[in-house]
Amino acid sequence: MTWPPSDSSSFELLDERIRRWIWNQGWETLRPSQEKAIPLILAGDRDVVISAPTSLGKTEAAFLPILTRVLAAPEPSVQVLYISPLKALINDQFSRLEFLCEALDIPVHRWHGDVSGGAKARLLKSPGGVLLITPESLEAVLMRQGARVTALFRRLGYVVVDELHSYIGNERGAQLQSLLHRVDAEIGRTVPRIGLSATLSQPELAAHFLRKSGGLPFEIVEDGARSDIRAQLRAFRKAWVPPVPVAPPAPSVPADDDEPEDVDDGSDLDPPLVEFLLRATRGQSNLIFCNRKRDVEELSDALRERARQTGLPDAYCAHHGNLSKEIREHVEALLKSMQQPTTCVCTSTLEMGIDIGPIQTVVQLDPPPSVASLRQRVGRSGRRGEAAILRIIVREKELTAGSHLCDRLRLEMVRSIACLALMADGWCEPPDDEALHFSTLVQQTLSVIAQRGGATISHLYRLLVRDGPFGAVSQTEYLTLLRALAEKEILVQMEDGTVLLGPLGERIAGHFSFYAAFQTPEEYRLLGSGRQIGTLPVTFPLKEGDPLLFAGRRWKIVTIDDQRRVIHLAPGRGRRPPRFDSTIGRVHPMVRRRMFEVLCGDDTPAFLDPTAAELLTEAREVFREDELSQRLILSHRGETLIFHWDGDLAASTLRLLLQRANLRAAPPADFLSCDAEVADVRKALAGIVEQPLPAAEDLAAAISTKCREKHDGRLPEPLLLAECARRDIDLPGAIALARRLAEAP
């Protein structure tokens, strides 16, 4: 490389020691995102959002100019605060930044639950350099360190938020906004914030999220360069098997040590699918993404068993959030070491930018949860300048004379086609940050009071609501919230007006789970062969002797200790996968509109395999025969089907409106199903369009699962309904949908 690069204006702006480090790494040039970001970040007077695909140097785009500023004026304070959603990502970035900062004599620290108390004490005694931390640990620092917080962050120059997209629209994001605002308030300065993400469709919205209360201008740095993607959608027909009559119990009782050789429990994994995945992944390192933890366990076991039967190496493992930290870290290290090709079957836990080495192929089993998620997942492949390889696997039923219309339309396959086409267009779901987040406001109120040893109502209101991230909450609503917390003895107000934690508030804030804004379900610990292998929510009956798949291994339940919430396992032979609560995010209207276009079209996407192309042709024939491009409401087998081709939020709101008209409708999917005649449905839709609209809170009252966030159960009913109305009701969208349906032929 030439020294210095003649075509780089930003390179000369960096500290000479950093330029020397770049030269030592053999870089031939700066990435486009780095070239654009360096002068903006060096100015230190604005927020910057850097949006670029995985592995295109976003971290360096932020830290090269930041560390240049640190080198110019080192201070006895944390000067850079890096916030990550995952401890594993912190550990990964710690090694990466330590390698850079070691040459610059800048200390790098990390703070999370697995870091020793000694390391944390040393930072508090002699703060400086870069601190990598999770939102939950930052919450703990603010609460526990009290007056030390100001000294710790006195000369803070920058905040870097990694994986910015993962925070938008959820409790953790509201918590992060509040924590960053509180840090600014503690030190009396507005600190520039840098957001990093590979998955942002509208970076401007993300920039507004990064600093919701305003205060600094922002700049967007986008690097649209990406590796080529070689994609294929492969369909597998699952043979229809008639139900087997239940046989009467056998007269003899098996011995205690008898266990089933092979417990299927309704597997959707046909042998041809497993055989294909075995061939497609052998000899390479790959990721197979599943939407359900149950599928992770079942598929990893099936691949390991088939590899054993065919004499192939045991190169398959599982990775999801209920596995123990030790197992997850072992899998990550195995992938990163590249000592042997490894295929990991995983959930979204490996979507984030943890360095796991080169991945040849990404497989998505079943339709992706969203286009944004698919973009994030395919970004794990194609590093080191190679093309990314994506395979989407869909499982479709073999049709019979009695198959339902919606099965004949192959809607899951069509949704996968739509997601892949939208990703190719460069589109993904925009961020949604409309919720009020009363639950997180409860947590932040308690946190501020605990940190300060008491606070006035006016201070709490100014800090959190008026000037803070909860600006959508009115003063009246906040006072209503405080009164409700006082009635429950969570808060207590002294005669001088100071608000303290009440008896229940002390217990809530003193529990180790308080620092997380999101709900963590109570689960049983699983102990296998004497060590903890993970946790399991027991939402269905378990008994001693049952088989269980977990961590890609086969076990038998030995004992269940309900008092200590512990399940002891021993190696077994049965293969029954565990059951977990599974939630897939809402489908965006754009996805369903593209599905409609796919069914209306004539062209066959080049990425379909022959089976998928054949199934698409069959689905289009059904679509045209039933004139579904025009007919959106039709009778089918005693029910009325409503093909809304809209997003889940508008469709679920329409369902509530139909229920108000005394029509029962099933929860929305790619269609609505009503237990009524077509004429009655049309009449109800016309009434919805013509009659005065109900209040969104009135509709929200009919939702049975209103308490979904951690502290929702502590909210007074009016605030809970207001939260539900903002989060789960889309009246304008539902009315527009009702009008479109009512006017359809």
| Two structure tokens written together for 475 | 């003063």
Q: What is the pLDDT of residue 136?
A: 96
Which region holds residue 615: left if phi is over 0, alpha if psi is between -120 and 50, else beta? alpha
The predicted pLDDT at position 354 comes to 80
pLDDT value of residue 1: 46
Query: Is the same domain home to 499 and 351?
Result: no
In this structure, is residue 738 part of a structural domain?
Answer: yes
Residue whose pair of structure tokens reads 């790619």 in the numeric block: 670
Name residue, tokens 């909450």.
473
Query: At which of 491, 515, 539 does a domain end?
Result: 515
Residues 190 and 316 in one domain: no
Q: Mark whether 206 and 176 lie in a shared domain.
A: yes
41 occurs within a structural domain: yes
The total domain count for the chain is: 5
DSSP-derived secondary structure letter, 13: G
pLDDT at 739: 96
pLDDT computed for residue 385 by the predictor: 66
- For residues 24 and 163, membership in a common domain is answered with yes
Domain end among 400, 424, 448: 424
> If residue 445 lies in a helix (H) or strand (E), which one and from where to where?
helix 438-452
List Cβ neighbours of 574 (8 Å cut-off, separation of 6 or more).
259, 260, 261, 262, 263, 546, 547, 548, 554, 556
Model pLDDT, residue 257: 38
Residue 433 resides in a domain: no
SS3 502: coil
pLDDT at 697: 96
Distance from C-alpha of 52 to C-alpha of 75, rounded to nearest angstrom: 31
Per-residue pLDDT at 339:
82
At which of 387, 402, 424 does a domain end? 424
Does residue 635 share a domain with residue 563? no
Whole-number Å distance between alpha carbons of 472 and 104: 44
Q: Where are the beta strands (DSSP E) in 637-720?
A: 639-642, 672-674
Secondary structure (3-state) at 33: helix
- Specify the pTM: 0.90
What gap in Å lies between CA 177 and CA 366, rounded to an integer? 34
Asked if the structure places residue 724 within a domain, the reply is: yes
113: nearest Cα among 137, 78, 82, 83: 137
The answer on 414 and 325 residing in a single domain is: yes
Residue 542 lies in a domain: yes
Residue 413 included in any domain: yes
The tokens for 529 are: 């062969």
User: What's the pLDDT score for residue 541?
Assistant: 74
Question: Is 398 found in the same domain as 330?
Answer: yes
- Tell me, yes or no, whether 52 and 174 share the same domain: yes
Do the domain assignments include residue 505? yes
Q: Which residues of the chain have pLDDT under 70?
A: 1-7, 225-227, 239-268, 383-385, 539, 581-583
Tokens representing 332 are 């990550």
45 within a domain of the structure (yes/no): yes
Residues 215 and 236 in one domain: no
Asked whether residue 283 falls in the same domain as residue 318, the answer is yes
The pLDDT assigned to 248 comes to 42
Q: Which domain holds residue 168?
A: 11-222
Judge if 268 and 346 occupy the same domain: yes
The pLDDT score that the predictor gives to residue 258 is 38
Distance (Å, whole) CA 119 – CA 418: 49
Inter-CA distances, 110 with 80, 93, 182, 186, Å: 12, 10, 20, 21
Residues 165 and 280 in one domain: no
At 266, which CATH number?
Answer: 3.40.50.300
379-383 contacts, C-beta under 8 A, 24 or more apart: 379/53, 379/54, 379/55, 379/198, 379/199, 380/54, 380/287, 380/350, 380/351, 380/356, 381/287, 382/227, 382/228, 382/229, 383/54, 383/55, 383/227, 383/358, 383/359
